[in-house]
Amino acid sequence: MRIAVLGMGYLGVTHAACMASIGHEVMGVDVDVDKISQLRAGHVPFFEPGLDALTARMVQSGDLRFTASYEEAARFADAFFIAVGTPQKRGEFAADVSAIDSVIETLGPMLDRPAVLFGKSTVPVGTAERLRSRLKELAPAGPDVELAWNPEFLREGHAIHDTLEPDRLVVGTAQQGAPGAITVAREIYSSVLASGTPFIVTDLATSELVKIAANAFLATKISFINAIAEVCEAAGADVVELADALGHDRRIGRAFLNAGLGFGGGCLPKDIRAFMARAGELGADQALTFLREVDAINMRRRTQMVDITRQLCGTLLGVRVGVLGAAFKPDSDDVRDSPALNVAGQLQLQGAAVSVYDPKAMDNSRKIFPTLSYASSAMAACAGADIVLVLTEWEEFRELNPRELAAVVSHRRVLDGRNCLDHQRWIDAGWQYRGFGRRPSSAAM
Ligand code: UGA
């Protein structure tokens, strides 16, 4: 099929490259001309494992092209995917859907033949129905232009896998009048469906809600285990062993029960807030008040990390801190609402001398936190440090040799913000090890 993907963020580029890789002719569209020229050269302007190579390969094959022209995309495609961002509004919990609105306002009047638009972005429930009505007014082809919702569930760091081998595909359509969208979706995803992927057809509102409810559930799971970690700390229990034991219960599962610095990124934090805001608008605000607590538990992890650092060092004034990790999670260079950078920033504001290293997120970190010091390696970040903080669980940090690191620091103190280190190895190498919610004997200071 001929597909246009609107919005070349990490979701859009991944979707475009993956759709090309399963046999479609794809055009990636973005209003940012710099981004388009980078992509045309086969270069992805952010880090996502495997995506650079896949994009370059698809560009070379001619199956993937990029343009800044909506006219060109409208002439080219029969199916469109909307993949623009829906960030948190400034000073409010609600999502800012202006980028989606402007896609519809720009593209709508150009649609003069049958087409299907699939929304992929995470939106407040009711957005799709509103866009559908607007599209009817704008598109010269009128009812021959359908709008469906096909929410995205991909994780950064696993984006290609999650697109080509998703746990499920969900397509929401209007209750009346979207006969073609499901057929088109089946055709587009035929190779994905052939491998047995569940295909869920529902209405627009349910499809919008599936996505945001999934993220709210994941956020709740993380905050649940972090709340339990606080109790473990108080009771002298071990949250990692507890999570392993819980995870054997198939109703619970072990995934997303890693206690530590909590969730960040461009999705979970803003999505739970937007969900609360939308429920409030709908008069169902009581239903989601628990998400306030989920948010509060999560944000508390960041201040607690700063407090523990102060407690371990006696003060923060003039203390040298080596911070390992800046991305919101490993295998990503994304620093949007990164817990790691938040902690690094708080420590510096409270008088510590902070040196940060991340394998991929240095450039992005410098842009949003130019006043922090950045080092060129983990060793360099920890040189002379009074304490080392591991704040993003990159493989490189898990594999650090505590004996080699001991040679460069001033004090052998490590705060494992992601409970990701082999603590016995660090203790054996003479380090004071501190995890989150870990048993004091193994986390002895
Ligand atoms: C999340 C969802 O997992 C995706 O399904 C969804 O499609 C995506 O948001 C989105 O809405 O676009 P992502 O933000 O890439 O994906 O990252 P996650 O893997 O969900 O991690 C989010 C945060 O939770 C990270 O900061 C991570 O460190 C933290 N986390 C995760 C924990 O603190 N503990 C865990 O056990 C798991």
Question: Measuring CA to CA, which residue among 401, 316, 308 is closest to residue 353?
Answer: 316
Q: Give residue for tokens 């992805």.
A: 44
Q: Alpha carbon 350 to chain centroid distance? A: 28
382 is catalytic: no
Placement of tokens 């980078």 in the chain: 38
Q: Ligand 1, atom 31: nearest CA belongs to which residue? A: 256
Residues with CB under 6 A from ligand 1: 122, 152-156, 215, 218, 222, 256-258, 260, 262-265, 267-268, 328-329
Single-letter residue type at 293: E
331: CB partners within 8 A, 6+ apart = 47, 49, 156, 157, 158, 394
**Ligand 1: residue whose CA is nearest its atom 5:** 153
Question: Is 363 annotated to bind ligand?
Answer: no
Nearest Cα neighbor of 183 from 166, 203, 159, 199 is 199
Active-site residue identified among 18, 232, 267, 420: 267
Residue 342 annotated as binding?
no
| DSSP letters for 295-330 | HHHHHHHHHHHHHHHHHHHS--TT-EEEEE--SSST
CB–CB of 121/86 below 8 Å? yes
Atom of ligand 1 nearest to the CA of 155: 15
Q: Specify whether the CB–CB gap between 229 and 258 falls below 8 A.
A: no
Distance of CA 263 from the midpoint of ligand 1 (Å): 7
C-alpha distances in angstroms, 98 versus 11, 102, 140, 341, 412? 17, 6, 22, 28, 50
SS3 117: strand
pLDDT at 175: 73
Q: Record the tokens describing residue 383, joined without a space.
A: 């040189």
Q: Annotated binding residue at 199?
A: no
Spatial contact of 358 and 392, defined as CB atoms under 8 Å apart: yes
User: Who contacts 439 (Cβ-Cβ below 8 Å, separation ≥6)?
Assistant: 232, 236, 237, 238, 241
Radius of gyration for the alpha carbons in the chain, expressed in angstroms and rounded: 24
- Please give the pLDDT value at position 204: 97
List beta partners, residue 357. 324
CB 370 within 8 A of CB 306: no
Domains and CATH numbers, the chain: 2-197 (3.40.50.720), 240-443 (3.40.50.720)
**Could you tell me the two tokens for 228?**
């339990």
Residue 120 · residue 3 · CB < 8 Å: no
What is the atom index within ligand 1 of the atom nearest the CA of 159?
15
Tokens at residue 394, please?
Answer: 């990159």
Residue type, 79: A
Beta carbons within 10 angstroms of residue 171's beta carbon: 22
Per-residue pLDDT of the chain (445 residues; tens, 9 = 90+): 999 999 999 999 999 999 999 999 999 999 999 999 999 998 999 999 999 999 999 999 999 999 999 999 999 999 999 999 999 999 999 999 999 999 999 999 999 999 999 999 999 999 999 999 999 999 999 999 999 999 999 999 999 999 999 999 999 999 765 569 999 999 999 999 999 999 999 999 999 999 999 999 999 999 999 999 999 999 999 999 999 999 999 999 999 999 999 999 999 999 999 999 999 999 998 999 999 999 999 999 999 999 999 999 999 999 999 999 999 999 999 999 999 999 999 999 999 999 999 999 999 999 999 999 999 999 999 999 999 999 999 999 999 999 999 999 999 999 999 999 999 999 999 999 999 999 865 444 4
**Residue 270: enclosing H or E segment and its boundaries?**
helix 268-281
CA of 100 to the centre of ligand 1 (A): 23
119 touches 100 (CB < 8 A): yes
* 173, 181 contact by CB (below 8 A): yes
- Does residue 241 have a known ligand-binding role? no
